[in-house]
Structures are given as C-alpha cells and as structure tokens.
Chain A
Amino acid sequence: MKNILKVKVFRCDPETDTTPRYDIFHVPEIKNMAVLDVVFHIQNNQDRSLAFRSSCRIGMCGSCAMFINGKARLACRTGVATLGTKELTITPLPNLPVIKDLLVDMDPFFEKYEKIKPYFIPEEGRKDFCSVPEGLKERRLIDEMLECITCGACYSACTIVTTNPEYLGPAALNRAFCLIADKRDGGGDERLRIVSDSNGIWRCHGQFNCGEVCPKKITPTWTIQQLKKRSVFKMMGIHL
C-alpha cells in the first residue's frame, strides 16, 4: 500500500479573499519524491487553481523557494523523505507580499539588490584584461559567494527584514561583497558607501538565519562581517 502524504497548503488570493486559509490535500508518495512533485501533483490532479513558481527543477534558478515545514527551502531540492514526516505544511516565503497562494512578489527583494549596483563596473583607465588566478585567496572567497541563485530564502529567514523592511538584506549584501572584494571592479568605494548606510550592514546582528536556510550553503552573515570590517578600515583611512 502506498504512503499517503497529508499536505497543508496556504491559500490566498488577495484580490478575492479577505482572509487566507489552509487547504488539506492527500498525495500518494512516490520514490525520491521532491516537494515540488507534491505541489505539481496537487495542481495536476486535485486543484488546478493552485499557484506557485518553478522553472529549472534542478536547484539552479531559485524560483521554487517556499516555506516548507517551518523552513525556507527550494521545493525542487527538498526530498519528502528528508523531512522525516508524512505531514507537510507549505506556505509562501515570509517577508514578501503574496501574489497568490505560494507565489510571492519578489520586487522588494530585487529592488534592494538593484540598490547595491549588482553588476561589474570596470576600473577606469585599465587597458588590458586583468585575470585573478584560481589559487588566490581572494578568488576562492569570491567564488564561494558567487553561488547565490537569488532564491530569496535568506531574505525570508532574516528577522531584521521582518522588523525593518528598508534593510538591504543578506542576498544583496552578499552580492555587494563579491564585487567589493573583486580587485578588477571599479565601483567598490561607491558600493561600500551604499552598504554602510544605517539600513545596510549595521542592521545585521549575526543571527545566521540566512546561512541556515541557504540552499547553496553560503553564509551571508560572514560576508556582512567582512563588509563591516572594510567599512571600519575605510573610516580609518585604510583600504583593504
């Protein structure tokens, strides 16, 4: 006999519903089933109106991040078996406005991302290509942090974002660090000025919630500490 999963799904259409509700679905479990398979099963067989976002299904695009059993996770990379229970509760990512059901509006997240100028700004006056050899510590640091897929899991887990919606958030600050630490980039000073705002790096209190939920095992708390260090040294007139 097949195992049946009891799935509690957050439902809300802000255009028609006055209050959100939870719908319960029963889904037959299959081998190596991911939570994304569960929501697809519900949409295909039980309720076609269920809204959620997904794309690559291999943990690369970051679009299927959801709040699964009390933790922000990528639905495509979360095996049902790893949850250790046959009861699933799926809600949209916290700290972001709900568009419908499990679908959230990522605009507040990307607006902050945009603020830190998340693109490479070539250094002025450089005529030749500049390479950063693979073995260098600087390169290793940046490589590790570049893994971010902007899924928004860290942003949704951050308690400071909850209390202060102006806070830039872990993902944007992590991206800023990647560019500031890159010696080829010419926008470091300006970026450091942006992140040193009172709603920037100083709001992080090192709770490590972002690192706890990151599907790519990045620890933005660490990069934020590095930015604080750089900002303090810059105040003293020392440029790292």
Chain B
Amino acid sequence: MNKDFNALAWLLQRITAVGLVLLLGIHFWLLHFKTHGEVIKFSDVSMRLHTWTLVLIDICLLIFGLYHASNGIYSIVQDYSVGGNGRRVTLWVLMCGGCVLAIIGGISLFRFLYVAG
C-alpha cells in the first residue's frame, strides 16, 4: 500500500472524528431542543429536512460517519495481520459498501427536499 495513502487515511480519520463530534453535537441539540413535544414525529423530521442547511449537515454526518467507520474496520483488519489479498478484498468491499450506503443515504435525504410533503 502506498505510504502516502496510509498517512492520508490516518489524517482523514482524525478530521472526520472531530467533524463527527461537532455534527453529532448539532444533531443531538436539534433532536432535544428543536423538537416540538417529547415524541419525534415523522412530520417534524420531514419539515426540518426541508431546509438546505440541515440536509447538508446530515449529508456531512453521513459521509464522515461512513468514512470513519469503514477506515476503522480496515484498521482493525490490518491490526489482525490479515494478508495482502485479504486486505485488498476488505478495502474494496468497504469502499464499495461505503459508496452504496452514501448514495442510498444521500437520495433519502434529498427526497425530503424535492419530493416529500
């Protein structure tokens, strides 16, 4: 594996960690203080996700979370001394899986802006 790839992956893991702390903070704050009533209703969420800013926050949360989790799993695989082929397969599975989940998540969020309610 390219040495710069390792350094970049490590740096992005740190950046996404900081990003996740901030974005999760915003996410929890919205859920606890900006939700009317005690029960979270679909209509409330739908209404909130009509705002571009909130959709953008959730998109960032999705991408940061997916990168952080996938790279974390890949790191564990490397920690357990999985051989060259195993590492490559894991990397590709995680990259493809991550992309698919990002697309599904992204489409779901954008549907609130353009389609829902």
Contacts and interface: CB of A to CB of B under 8 A. Distances in A.
Contacts of A111: none
Contacts of A232: 7, 10-11
A228 interface: yes
Determine which residue in A164, A203, A231, A235 has the highest number of CB atoms from chain B within 10 A of its CB, and name it. A235
A202 B10 contact: yes
A23 to B, nearest CB: 34
Interface string A135-168: 0000000000000000000000000100111110
Interface string B52-89: 00000000000000000000000100111100000100
Contacts, number: 45
Given A202-B10, A232-B10, A235-B8, A197 B81 contact: no
A240 B8 CA distance: 17
A115 interface: no
Given A164-B78, A164-B81, A235 B7 contact: yes
Interface string B1-39: 101101111110000000000000000000000000000
Interface string A192-214: 01001111001101000000000
A217 interface: no
Contacts of A199: 78
A167 B79 CA distance: 8
Nearest to B10: A202
Contact of B80 (A163, A193, A196, A202): A163
A189 to B, nearest CB: 11
Contacts of A164: 78-81
A53 interface: no
B6 A196 contact: yes
A197 B10 contact: no
